[in-house]
A and B are shown apart, each in its own frame.
Chain A
Amino acid sequence: MSALSAHSVAVRTRGIDMFFGDGETKVTALKQADFEANRGELVMLVGPSGCGKTTLLSVIAGTLTPQAGTVEVFGQRLDGLGQEELTAFRRKHLGFVFQSFNLIPTLSVLENVMVPLLIQGAAQSVAEAKARAILEKVGLMGREDGRPNALSGGQQQRVAIARALVHEPSLLICDEPTSALDKDTGAQIMQMVRDLSRSPDRCVVVVTHDHRIFRFADRIAEMEDGRIRRVVDDPSQLDATHL
């Protein structure tokens, strides 16, 4: 990994401190968290519950602002950006896959997938064409006019992946994308994430508890008490106790 030039770094955090509340109730979620992911990589963040995975992911996504440290995503420093600039940054460069899918139940599958494009201000017809194209890729052609709730969990997560990728973001952020799915469906979903996001200009960060999908990772960063304990290339190198 050290052979890669600095230029190929997609995500880098240095010395991130993040606490919630203060005084008696102060909770330290991250302390001096250093994390790196390269272009073209799929990196997983693993660790025990409460170790700060979601918090770190939120910092990388620019939805949480840390108290200390630097965040750099595709050459753009996020620390120091205002809310509006962060919002614009997310709109342009980020795709999200959530654990609970977060599809809007009153909109059709197609409309759900169009949302990121419409947020960017794309024309209705352009957004529709692009959404159809990506729904085809995730194998949901023919279901685009139905409601998300009429689909199975796996199908809903495929819609979510289509929505996360429709605007071709540089960074794809997934928090527990398979935890609401059974084993086989989870594997299919990860396969799809990997296939669709493999590109030298893209980086995927996946937070997960699900050891069954570790094999899809290029590297795995293991967290403990708000910091990255170590990074391994192969799941078999992880301590069994942390799985």
Chain B
Amino acid sequence: MYRLALNMLFGDRAKLAMLLCGLAFSALLMAQQTSVFFGIMSWTYTPVHNIRARIWVSDPMVEQANDAKPLRDTDLYRVRSVDGVAWAAPLHTSFVQARMQDGNFKLITLIGLDADTFAGAPATLSAGRIEDLRLPNTVIVDEWGAQLMGRPVVGPDGKETTVPLKVGDTFEVNDLEARIVGICKVRRAFTGGPFVYTTYDRTKQYTLGARRTLSFMLVEPQPGVDASALCDRIEADTGLKAWTSDTVIWDWSDRSLARNTFWWFWKNTGIPFSFGTAVALGLFVGIAVSGQTFYSFVLENLKYFAAIKAMGAGMGVIARMLLVQAFTAGLLGFGLGVGMAQAIGRAMIEKGMPPFVMFPQIFWATLALVLGISLVSAVIGIIKVSRVDAATVFRG
């Protein structure tokens, strides 16, 4: 009977196409909207991704990763003396104006790395070497920043293009020369413009007037020391705030800098609301469309199920037939929809805009929703079939 159930489903190509389109469209909408939403939200904790430290230590008043409150340089020694700390390196972050060669100003995110350890350095450089930062007046910029800060040129065809900055190019920060010795690949941030990496000591010159430049401390626990436990100890010993760097924003770990940043933006900005309504709309339309298409499929087949019931099929068999149809259609529609969402997402990632992060949770949640919709439609169908009097099949 299950084979028959599938043949019933696949028998009408046009209707099947409609049904799958409805389900795929809603799966696409749900996965797409939530992925873009989380993509944008994941930009909020970009620093945690890019810096790659096991533990972050900040001023106790700091609430999230984009919010730097200067620490005292002596704090570094206090942290280093906490039991279980292998090493601690300084990190500076700030927004400063950079003056391009054409005289234009651009807001950049300046990151100062400890010149001894290069703790927090970008994972991949597409040009240059990180060690060259030890040379005087040198910086490394990220690929996207190199593009943003690039020089506009008018080609022979009259079209304006941007020539990205490359190794050897210079610009100025605070009247001081910044010579590019490397281009790195890092994730984009929600706040802030291009990332410009330099050494921690040089940031004192680039941020003229700033008395204290220690924004965060990056801490590596000794082998075998639990990061979260070490955070507790750092906080107890120094009165500073310590964070872990896990980026599982679903985990209710209060130590996670990424999670706190994510939820800080969630609570304190209008982004979740404005995007959230789009997501909710996507979910709503998705549920409505797929529920409606599947339900009308069930309704159309109601009289045939009534006939099958009259011929002596028990409700158990009919229920299973409907469920087989529902889940088959649901899975196919889901596969198509999420496949399309992924393809579109890939294309978006290429362009970098808008960001697209399909967490496994989004994948599974979409699957659960689509199957849930199929299940509900099937159950409504089952109830309908169980309510129709087998005798009604005699009435044309």
Seen from chain A, the residues whose Cβ lies within 8 Å of a Cβ on chain B are: 54-55, 57-58, 61, 63-64, 84, 87-92, 94, 96, 98-100, 102, 104-108, 111, 114-116, 118-120, 124, 147, 175
Contact = CB atoms under 8 A, between A and B. Distances in A.
A119 B396 contact: no
A104 to B, nearest CB: 5
A214 B7 CA distance: 39
Q: Lowest 8 A-B CB distances belong to which pairs?
A: A106-B11, A91-B312, A63-B390, A58-B391, A90-B312, A63-B391, A102-B307, A64-B391
Given A63-B310, A106-B12, A107-B11, A119 B394 contact: no
A190 to B, nearest CB: 18
Contact of A118 (B4, B307, B309, B394): B4
A102 B10 CA distance: 19
B159 to A, nearest CB: 56
Nearest to A174: B394
B211 interface: no
B304 A104 contact: yes
Given A105-B12, A107-B4, A92 B312 contact: yes
A58 B395 CA distance: 11
Given A98-B394, A175-B394, 14 more contacts: A58-B390, A63-B390, A87-B312, A88-B312, A88-B314, A89-B312, A94-B311, A96-B307, A96-B310, A98-B393, A102-B307, A102-B393, A106-B11, A107-B4
Interface string B288-311: 000000000000000110011111
Interface of B: 1, 3-4, 7-12, 303-304, 307-314, 317, 389-391, 393-396
A88 B389 CA distance: 16
Given A58-B391, A106-B11, A116 B4 contact: no
Contacts of A92: 312
A161 to B, nearest CB: 14
Contacts of A88: 312, 314
Given A57-B394, A100-B396, A107 B7 contact: yes
A177 B393 CA distance: 13
B314 A84 contact: yes
A55 B311 CA distance: 17
Given A61-B310, A102-B307, A119 B1 contact: yes
A94 B394 contact: no
Contact of B7 (A54, A87, A106, A116): A106
Nearest to A173: B394
Interface of A is mostly: helix
B308 A64 contact: no
Contacts of A89: 312
Contacts of A64: 389, 391
A175 B304 CA distance: 16
A115 B3 contact: no
Contacts of B303: 102
A55 B395 CA distance: 10
A63 B389 contact: yes
Nearest to B10: A106
Contacts of A90: 310-312, 390
A119 B317 contact: yes
A104 B8 contact: yes
16 contacts: A54-B391, A58-B394, A63-B389, A87-B314, A88-B314, A90-B311, A92-B312, A102-B304, A102-B307, A104-B307, A105-B11, A105-B12, A106-B12, A111-B7, A119-B312, A124-B3
Contact of A119 (B11, B313, B389, B390): B313
A95 B396 CA distance: 17
A102 B307 CA distance: 7
A118 B7 CA distance: 14
Contacts of B307: 96, 98, 102, 104
Contacts of B389: 63-64
Nearest to A120: B312
Contacts of B394: 54, 57-58, 63, 98-99, 175
Nearest to A179: B396
Most buried by B among A89, A116, A119, A120: A119
